[in-house]
Amino acid sequence: MRNISEDTITQAVLAAMSDCRNERLRTVMTSLVQHLHSFAREVRLTESEWQYAINFLTEVGHITDDKRQEFILLSDTLGLSMLTTTQNNRKPPECTEATVLGPFFVEGAPEYQNGEDISNGAAGLPCFVSGHVRGLRGEPLPGATIEVWQSDEDGYYDVQYAAPRQAEAEHRARGRLRTLPDGRFHFRSILAEAYPIPHDGPVGRMLDALGRHPWRPAHLHFWINAHGYEPLITHVFRNGDQYLDSDAVFGVRSTLVADWVEHPPGVAPDGTAMDTTFYTLDYDFVLNPDGHAR
């Protein structure tokens, strides 16, 4: 491999991978090298620009920890997360659409019974959420696992705060529950509000340089699993939000926009007497059976 030029470097790199025994890895890396080299040639990438890019990615790695995933934010804001989600979740049109996981899902959320309050002290106006999980033919899916999480009224997820002293306070506006025999679920939480993704790091500086804002429209995250059906990772967005058409991570789908209905003080759906304004949300999810044609 001597005297390699800018015209022969791509083929030299591809030849160096020819002994790779993992066919999928070889396919992915071949395409990656070809596209990277084509990109560098197309924009005539300078050495200083490439060094800047290396420093940028290094910063992304340095700021990433167990509470903040800057690489996911980078993928989300470049549209790569949503592209990958969309091409891997083609479903019949009757099924609920998927959207990005986002950087704030955590394992080990507490389990709740239907009707319980998952907010666990998170700040926000009360919101009562209900709905059904069904299959493509309308069949109810009892015992489906629902993971739900959201930010508080200040736009922060629980993991963005400093670690609390009490273990029970670690998870707020986050929980896991199961659907009832008729596929129904219901729980209490807080009103979803719009919020900016973390933008005090390299991804935020990138957005600012590109003239983009960091805001996401108000939403709840759902991850639903039922035996015999494809998992569903999605959001439900709050209708009327000013950022529905400019979501910083390109995750909005019209079918996922729903009405949060405002109610004056009175009796909540679970019979609780409310002395403040509260909201209700009702939304049904439809899952695709495993192996069903898309």
Would the pTM of this model clear 0.75, i.e. be above it?
A: yes
Taking only the tens place, the pLDDT of each residue in 222-272 is 999 999 999 999 999 999 999 999 999 999 999 999 999 999 999 999 999
Taking alpha carbons only, the member of 96, 103, 100, 52 closest to residue 79 is 100
Range 257-279 burial, b when 16+ CB lie within 10 A, else e: bbebeebeeeebeeeeeeeeebb
Q: Determine the length of the chain.
A: 294
Opening angle at CA 200, ends 121 and 205, nearest 5? 145
Taking only the tens place, the pLDDT of each residue in 56-68 is 999 999 999 988 8
Q: Which fold has domain 71-287?
A: Protocatechuate 3,4-Dioxygenase, subunit A (2.60.130)
Domain spans of the chain, in order of start: 1-45, 71-287
Taking only the tens place, the pLDDT of each residue in 14-47 is 999 999 999 999 999 999 999 999 999 999 999 9
Residue 167 in this model has a pLDDT that exceeds 80? no
